[in-house]
Amino acid sequence: MKKILITGGNGQLGSELRLLSKVYTQFEWIFTDYQELDLCNLEKLETELTKINPQIIINCAAHTAVDKAEAEFELSDVLNHQAVAVLAKWSNVNDCQLIHVSTDYVFDGTAATALTETAQPNPINVYGVTKLAGEKACIKYNPDSIIIRTSWVYSSFGANFVKTMSRLMQERDSLNVVNDQIGSPTYAADLAQAIMTILTHDNWQAGIYHFSNEGEVSWYEFALAIQEIAGFDCEINGIPTSAYPTPAKRPQYSLLDKSKIKSVYGVVVPEYITSLRRCMRLLGIEK
């Protein structure tokens, strides 16, 4: 029985994988968060990995607070880059399969069409810079690893845009939401299923893959969809990014092309609105 180690086990993706672990009982599952496996303690990390001795690592851990990361470069770099290098080195030496989760924020947002895996990365914030460094370390130290870039992740677990918008729409008469950043949301449950489709496939093909739900929307349009599904009575206004300054710049266009993951692994990619309904039903906020 292969042992799977999940880092970031209490995050959105880790929590969805925990649910799937009850289905994929052919694996032994080890879920860790920073209390059980501190990725920031680089000196001890290799020893801890040897103790656990997994045959598969799914690295869901990251410093994902994009605005806070601007003032916390060192912490971001340790978690998003240096720890990934240790995971990659260890997995390479110990014949362990590594799936590392990355982000659309490795791109600068100047593209006009959906981004393929060969598109040139050019991050514009600390989060993106450190995540790209993690990707490069992953490929350098374990060329047989798989990297999955994703975007706009939400789920019924943790804090995310869907839950925040749902709360604010009930508390306020009106909301302003950015309407000139374009991409596609990702329901973490769908990403977790895509990962398990890869792990149970006959053919392991290393490299970078893109995964998000189908659809091209702005954050404003995403908010309108949430409102429509829940039936909230709140005025939602679309505003430009310039009207809502944040410490970290965001890419204006980061829609991911999913052709590769579909063709190589036969991954099914649901429409974003279908998955959004599923999640909101679970949260009990569907009208």
From CA 21, how far away is CA 3, in angstroms rounded? Answer: 11
Look up residue 261 and give its two tokens.
Answer: 């993951």
Whose tokens are 């998000």? That residue is 212
Which strand (E) or helix (H) includes residue 146? Answer: strand 146-150
From CA 251, how far away is CA 152, in angstroms rounded? Answer: 12
Which strand (E) or helix (H) includes residue 147? Answer: strand 146-150
Q: Return all residues near 16 (Cβ < 8 A) that are at least 6 apart.
A: 155, 157, 188, 189, 191, 192
Q: Of 106, 111, 144, which Cα lies nearest the Cα of 127?
A: 106
**DSSP code for 71:** T
Q: Directed axis angle between helix 272-283 and helix 188-199, to 10°?
A: 110
Q: Of 125, 123, 11, 107, which Cα lies nearest the Cα of 66?
A: 125
Reply yes or no on whether 127 is catalytic. Answer: yes
Burial 24-55 (b: 16+ CB within 10 A, else e): eeebebbbbbeeebbbeeeeebeebbeeeebb
Active-site pick, 24, 34, 127, 154: 127
Q: What's the farthest any 2 CA atoms get from each other in the chain?
A: 57
Q: Give one DSSP letter per residue of 18-70, joined into a string.
A: HHHTTT-TTEEEEE--TTTS-TT-HHHHHHHHHHH--SEEEE------HHHHT
Whose tokens are 């374990």? That residue is 142
Which residues are catalytically annotated? 127
